[in-house]
Amino acid sequence: MTVLKRAENPGINRTPTFFYSSAREGMADLLAHAPEASRQQTGVLLPRYIGWSPLEGSGVFDPVRESGRPFDFYALREDLSVDIDDLAARLETGRFQFIVVIHYFGRTDTRIGQLRSLADRYGALLVEDLAHGFFTAALGGGAGTWGDVSLYSLHKQFPLADGGMAVYRDGSLLTNQASTRSELAEMVLQYDWRAISMVRRQNFVKLTELLLRLSNVGEGFSLLWPSLSEFDVPQSLPILLQGSHRDRVYHAMNQQGYGMVSLYHTLIPEVGDSAGVLSEVSRRIINFPVHQDIEPRELSSIVHAFEAAIHSGLEDEA
């Protein structure tokens, strides 16, 4: 046996990584170059909570639709975690080559291990959508380690105009995939990922504390996730507003210079009536920013403005 002075095997622990203008471009590259499957098992199974906007379309669903592959949607629980029983029932049909799991707003799906087991049982490839979860994966938890492929939207996490990344943990999936934006690797490596992760986590925790002190918590709004898991790094802090005044609160906050968003505010029409409780979530959701540019002292001002906006909205409804 010979032990060399340094590592020379390029295949050990290698995770081939490709860079694109967007994560959807990475998804399209994966679908176009996937291994051949049986005529029946070519479909893509996605969660029912998928958003659409007139400016951006639907990042995760557009490449699926454009691929011409059959698709279907599995149910989620109200906290946006996977309904394992519904997912398993759809996999029983033997129609799906891909399962897509979305780690919404940077939160690791609590049932990701069970998804991996189901993918293995039914011979499907597991794709982790980490459009909001680059730093969650980078922090060292489970996100980004269960899937055969992980997809990232770099511009949603870093101060970049665009950018996507696909990481392959199964080398047998590589055929003719190719980066279109290789220079993004250099840009991403210039940032301190752990420092950014810590700022985002601290902003989430502090903002949560301030929101829970408001008198109308539980009546005017509720926190979708009141706590943060050890390795999760939030893309934003989602809450659910009571009533129908979400859009008024959104506009009031942005007019004052507070960059609120309503992610997944409109679900893709293909989901249809099957969305169930998720349609209600999409109508009520609004997201606070927690990104690395925000100073802790700014969080109190954001919450004061939100309290005023929500009171105004409730008064308009009365």
Q: Would you state the pLDDT for residue 40?
A: 85
pTM reported for the whole predicted model: 0.95
Q: Return the percentage of the chain with pLDDT > 90, whole number.
A: 85
The mean pLDDT of 247-252, rounded to a whole number, is 94
CA distance 124 to 146: 13
By DSSP bridging, strand 125-129 and strand 149-153 are: parallel
Q: Would you state the pLDDT for residue 55?
A: 83
In the chain, alpha helices (H)? 23-32, 62-67, 84-91, 112-122, 134-138, 184-189, 193-212, 246-255, 277-284, 296-317
Answer whether 149's CB lies under 8 Å from 127's CB: yes
CA distance 206 to 303: 11
Give the pLDDT band of residue 1 (cuts 50, 70, 90): confident
Q: Would you state the pLDDT for residue 36?
A: 84
Give the pLDDT band of residue 313 (cuts 50, 70, 90): low
Both tokens assigned to 266: 């409109």
Q: Would you state the pLDDT for residue 316?
A: 63
Pick the range with the lowest mean pLDDT from 30-44, 181-195, 228-242. 30-44
Q: Would you state the pLDDT for residue 11?
A: 86
Beginning with the edge strand found earlier in the chain, give each strand of the sheet holding 71-74 in spatial order. 17-20, 164-168, 149-153, 125-129, 96-102, 43-47, 71-74
CA distance 292 to 106: 14
Name all domains of the chain by residue range, CATH numbers in brackets: 17-189 (3.40.640.10), 194-317 (3.90.1150.10)
Can you tell me whether residue 156 is helix, strand or coil?
Answer: helix
Q: Would you state the pLDDT for residue 315?
A: 59
CA angle (171, 163, 192) in 5-degree steps:
85
Q: Would you state the pLDDT for residue 216?
A: 81
Both tokens assigned to 291: 């990104």
Of 158, 88, 100, give the one whose Cα is nearest residue 130: 100
The mean pLDDT of 248-263, rounded to a whole number, is 95
Q: Would you state the pLDDT for residue 274?
A: 80
Answer whether 220's CB lies under 8 Å from 212's CB: no
Phi, psi of 96 (to 5 degrees): -115, 125
Q: What is the CA radius of gyration of the chain?
A: 20
Give the pLDDT band of residue 237 (cuts 50, 70, 90): very high
Phi, psi of 164 (to 5 degrees): -140, 165
Q: Would you state the pLDDT for residue 314?
A: 56
The mean pLDDT of 238-261, rounded to a whole number, is 94
Q: Tens digits of per-residue pLDDT, 184-220?
A: 999 999 999 999 999 999 999 999 999 999 988 878 8
The mean pLDDT of 96-112, rounded to a whole number, is 97
The mean pLDDT of 263-274, rounded to a whole number, is 90
